[in-house]
Amino acid sequence: NAGVTQTPKFRVLKTGQSMTLLCAQDMNHEYMYWYRQDPGMGLRLIHYSVGEGTTAKGEVPDGYNVSRLKKQNFLLGLESAAPSQTSVYFCASSYDIGDTEAFFGQGTRLTVV
Amino acid sequence: AQKITQTQPGMFVQEKEAVTLDCTYDTSDPSYGLFWYKQPSSGEMIFLIYQGSYDQQNATEGRYSLNFQKARKSANLVISASQLGDSAMYFCAMSGGGSQGNLIFGKGTKLSVKP
């Protein structure tokens, strides 16, 4: 059972470079989320999607873009990486956020130098 | 706007004792969900327990129970009979009601279980 898969697991970027993080889920979930986790800050919601073709901003959306062209995939893009975007990124998905838990990927550790 | 507050950055508990991790929330939605997740040092996020805003009884899952006090807007996690493997970060989270679809987390509490 794959569940939620994040690609890549580790990445080092130079300031100004761009990259895309891929999140794929095989559970037919409607809701998908991207978070960043920084020490002492918990998980902060970057963007989320309530269904294919929809996206919405979370708490810390600046510097990131997302797309949900297919129901099973949620992409997080960094157009011009900055050292402040050094973090661990988690993707999650849920069938119905009202009363079911979210399933998380293993995380992506991104370092911007 | 929704908000989750966890005021205990770190907690210690003796093995086999019970411990309560605090969580307060703020929302104007009448319908919402409250969750607790565990994050061990390996980094994965593990779902522990869920409480719906309309649930009359406190949720329980094995050694975990959620002390839900709606009027006080608190959703504390109680772990009974602590084990060494309970040492981890614990996050309280809240989902928005209706079609909002967002799921927000508190800053977490680091629990350390002493032998």
Residue-wise pLDDT for A86-111, tens only, equals 999 999 999 876 667 889 999 999 99
Q: Are residues B91 and A42, on separate chains, in Cβ contact within 8 Å?
A: yes
CA distance B12 to chain A (A): 18
- In contact, A45 and B102? CB cutoff 8 Å: yes
Percent of chain A with pLDDT over 90: 85
Q: What is the pLDDT of residue A9?
A: 96
Nearest to residue A25, comparing CAs of A45, A6, A8, A42?
Answer: A6
Written as six digits, the tokens of A2 are: 């794959």
Q: State the count of interchain CB pairs (< 8 A) between A and B.
A: 66
Structural contact between residues A57 and A42, judged by C-beta atoms closer than 8 angstroms: no
Separation of alpha carbons A51 and A60, rounded Å = 20
pLDDT, position B97: 55
Over its C-alpha atoms, chain B yields an Rg (Å, rounded) of 14
Residues of A within 8 A of B95 (CB-CB) are 97-98
Inter-chain residue contact A92 with B45, CB threshold 8 Å: yes
Q: Write out chain B residues lying below 8 Å of A40, CB-based.
A: 9, 107
Judged by average pLDDT, the poorest of A7-11, A62-66, B31-35, B97-101 is B97-101
